Structure 1
Amino acid sequence: MSTTVFCRKYQQELPALPFPPLPGKQGQEIQATVSKQAWEEWQSLQTRLINEKHLNMLEPEARAYLMDQMQRFLNNEATDQAEGYVPPTQA
């Protein structure tokens, strides 16, 4: 695998993920089309959504919701946001 990929979120060459983040074909596709930066940003949003919306990851509906939000995020579509989240200020 190359050390960079053309990231579908940022539409530019960026550092690649070192390994597929999910099992199977979907993980391979993400590794080939999503940068490390975009994936890390998704993981941060995913954590906020799980915590703020009190998602139970044992429920298939919660997992399906997150997969939908992931695709939206990586395709630059509107995603749900965690209510009340205030990003840290940079000093």
Structure 2
Amino acid sequence: MKDRRKDPRRKTNCRICLSNEYFGPIEGNISNMSEGGVLVEVVTASDFSLGMLFEAKVLDPDWDQTLPPLMMKVVRIDRNDIALEFIV
């Protein structure tokens, strides 16, 4: 199967907190990231639906905590993870 991803992925292991006006805060682990988005391992992926928008805050101590939350959109849902795309 050909990899159709636009940006190369980089393995990582840091926490992320997602929230919007209906959900949150929901925490998960970022398993990989690229310039276009992140893959987040979550306990209940069934709580999400395609197209949902979230404010995302990376909780890693090496991340600049003064940065504002990132806007992200759910673009794929698997059994235990969700793919989020950065909204520019």
Q: Normalising by structure 1, report the TM-score.
A: 0.21
Structure number with the higher strand fraction is 2
Q: Normalising by structure 2, report the TM-score.
A: 0.21
Q: Which has the higher contact order (CA 8 A, sep 6+)?
A: 2
Structure number with the higher helix fraction is 1
Q: Which has the larger radius of gyration?
A: 1
